[in-house]
Amino acid sequence: MKKLLRNLTFAGWLSFIGIVLVLLVAIFAPLLVANDPMETDPLRRLSREEGFPLGCDQLGQCVYSRLIYGARLSLIIGFSARLSSLLIGLAIGLAAGYAGGWLDWFLMRVVDMFLAFPSLLLAIAVSMVMGSGIKTVIFALAIVGWAEMARIIRSAALELRSAEYVLAARTLGASHLRIVLTHILPNCLPLITVIFTMGMATAVLSEASLSFLGLGVDPSLPTWGGMVASAKDYMLRRPELVVYPGLCIAFLVIVFNIFGDELRDILDPSRKGNW
Amino acid sequence: MLEFTLRRLAATIPVLLGILLISFVVLYLIPGDPAQTVAGPRADAATLARIAEEMGLDQPLHQRFFSYLHRIFKGDLGSSAVSGKPVLDSVIEKLPFTLKLAALAMSFSIVLGILAGIISAITQGRWLDRVCTVFSVAGISIPVFLSGLVFLYVFAVRLKWFPSSGFDADNSLMPFILPAFTLGIRSAAFLARIVRSSMIEVLNQDFIRTARAKGLSPARILFRHGLVNALIPVITVIGLDLSSYLNGSVIVETIFDLPGIGRFAMDAILQRDYPVIQGIVMLGALVFILVNLLVDLLYAWINPKIRDEMLGKLAR
């Protein structure tokens, strides 16, 4: 952690501050909003009224307040989706990398299969089968995201398997489970931090795309992707209503991308410069 | 090379079969009785049973999977639940639009991505490199639907340089330029990063120093020695781009109102036309696997060093 803070570049600090900022906005959303984000009023439709900082959308809802709550949904869904893919990816990746042999071969073919599916279409298909809702979106993004995590963790585990301290632990009679949990897993942690952060960018972007297509969570909930989708029909009158939520998505994705990149350069220098 | 080809194929065939199996399971999990869909909501029990028998729904699951495989290999991907039209026919009909879009997007991506990557690599650490990096981070992070809508508003609605929606009957490229640009800058941003790092790596190698010591001109070193070698990794990007174009086409064709595969998929989603969606997703995965197989074989053929490396990975 100390090493991390010392080595962070200027861009890294900026992106870190950006993430903290969005996090604070999400936590303190009820204190920051100007109006109830769900309250509709046909009379305020697309108006720029006093007390509504960024005006109102096509249902007369406060755009500013919806943007604030949108941060909450983006972070909650992105984080839960990442966590779920991480858990699946860890289980599969560690098993494949540590066991090797036919199990590795088999699990990696399963990973190949999931990587082959066009991710957005797969997420759409999953959310259609399961019906809309926050849990569905999280599940769909986890199904799409776990394979890449499994592949990266597997190659790390494969290298660690033949490390001297693992062989030593084995000779001392440690069980496989113990070795994986106390020797392999802790040494994968820096790598896991990196792929988790970089994956947050992808998860946020995918959630926004699903919401934009109307296949994410309930469309009445304030999601940034959903706000772009509903504002696009009124783009000729109020083009800025597309831009505000769009920029929020771009901002969150950019800070996660830069911060993830920075983390990788510091924690995992061997992969420096590639994405 | 023969050993590599065989081993690569051996790794591909189970994946292909697995994709078919997953597609079959998804089709099985989809809510609703397929016989009911075909027969219509008011069919009586006897008709339903007859249709179920005709469709082979009464057979055990493994037998249904084999007849499913048989059907797929004959090129039958099922039919739309809404129009009854075979999925493959519709896909073939709509493919030219999406191919045109993808080809144009790829041209944008290759020109912009390689140019930005080279500029970044030769001005490494200076301000021009920083500018390119900023653009590439932005290009990767800005959602396709935002850039698409902004381009549509600025260049089609305000400036009227391009038609704002739909595609006109005269075979022009005009309606494809904005959507292709939208997709292209995103993959150009990825490409720029890869070209930059591979160019820097190549330029730091011994043979470049030798070329410099021989007194060759910097331009000749850059293009004749550096670029040719730095571009090899770019081939793999093309395979990955394919998947991103299929995903992106769903969004971009919806925004720009183009009648391609993406739009077809989106319409099917809105109408809950499960067989069509399942067919498109499976086809996308199959094409992805085959293109990546070709890319790997091409890659291994161009660069034997990499072939041995990949062979080691496959054999392990």
Q: How confident is the model at residue B35 (pLDDT cuts 50, 70, 90)?
A: low
B149 to A209: CB separation less than 8 angstroms, yes or no: no
- Residue A91 clears pLDDT 90, i.e. is over it: yes
Which residues 34-93 of B are in CB contact (within 8 Å) with A? none
Closest CA–CA distance from residue B50 to any residue of chain A (Å)? 26
* B186 or B217: which leads in pLDDT: B186
pLDDT at A247: 92
pLDDT in tens, B97-146: 888 899 899 999 989 998 998 888 888 888 888 888 888 889 989 999 99
What span, in angstroms and rounded, lies between the C-alpha atoms of A178 and A198? 29
Which residues 153-182 of B are in CB contact (within 8 Å) with A? 153, 157
Nearest to B18 among A113, A243, A274 (CB): A113
pLDDT at B270: 82
**Lookup: tokens for B302:** 């161009």
Nearest to B289 among A116, A125, A128 (CB): A116
- Residue B1 clears pLDDT 90, i.e. is over it: no
pLDDT at A274: 44
Average pLDDT over residues A183-190: 86
A117 to B26: CB separation less than 8 angstroms, yes or no: no
Give the residue among A36, A41, A67, A63 at the shortest CA–CA distance from A52.
A63
pLDDT in tens, A211-245: 888 887 887 888 898 888 888 888 888 888 888 99
**Lookup: tokens for A76:** 């909650």
Whether the CB-CB separation of A151 and A130 falls below 8 Å is answered with: no
A228 to B153: CB separation less than 8 angstroms, yes or no: no
- Residue B147 clears pLDDT 50, i.e. is over it: yes
Average pLDDT over residues A131-141: 87
Q: How confident is the model at residue A275 (pLDDT cuts 50, 70, 90)?
A: very low
Say whether residue B269 is in contact with chain A using an 8 A CB cutoff: yes
Q: Determine the residue among A98, A122, A128, A227 to mutate to test chain B binding: the one whose Cβ has the most chain B Cβ atoms within 10 Å.
A: A128
- Residue A271 clears pLDDT 70, i.e. is over it: no
Burial code (b: 16+ CB inside 10 Å, e: under 16) for B235-265 equals eebbbbbbbbbbbbbbbbbbbbebbbbbbbb
A113 to B278: CB separation less than 8 angstroms, yes or no: no
State in Å, rounded, how far the first CA of chain B is from the last one: 17
A62: helix, coil or strand? strand
A116 to B15: CB separation less than 8 angstroms, yes or no: yes
What percent of chain A is predicted at pLDDT more than 90?
Answer: 21
What span, in angstroms and rounded, lies between the C-alpha atoms of A132 and A135? 8
Say whether residue B150 is in contact with chain A using an 8 A CB cutoff: yes
Nearest to A121 among B11, B143, B246 (CB): B246
The sign of the dihedral angle between the CA atoms of B295, A196, A11, A20 is positive
* B56 or B61: which leads in pLDDT: B61
B141 to A243: CB separation less than 8 angstroms, yes or no: no
pLDDT at B76: 79
Q: How confident is the model at residue B224 (pLDDT cuts 50, 70, 90)?
A: confident
Q: Helices marked H in chain B — which ranges?
A: 2-29, 34-39, 45-54, 61-73, 87-122, 127-141, 144-151, 174-203, 206-213, 218-220, 228-230, 234-256, 261-270, 274-302, 304-315
pTM above 0.90, yes or no: no
Nearest to A109 among B18, B243, B246 (CB): B18
Say whether residue A128 is in contact with chain B using an 8 A CB cutoff: yes
- How big is the A-B interface in CB pairs under 8 Å? 140
Site of tokens 């005006």: A55
pLDDT at B124: 82
Site of tokens 């400036």: B159
ipTM surpasses cut 0.95: no
| Averaged pLDDT of chain A | 84
Instruction: Report the chain B residue with the minimal C-alpha distance to residue A113.
Output: B15
- Residue A72 clears pLDDT 60, i.e. is over it: yes
The H or E element spanning position A15 is helix A10-27
What span, in angstroms and rounded, lies between the C-alpha atoms of A16 and A7? 13
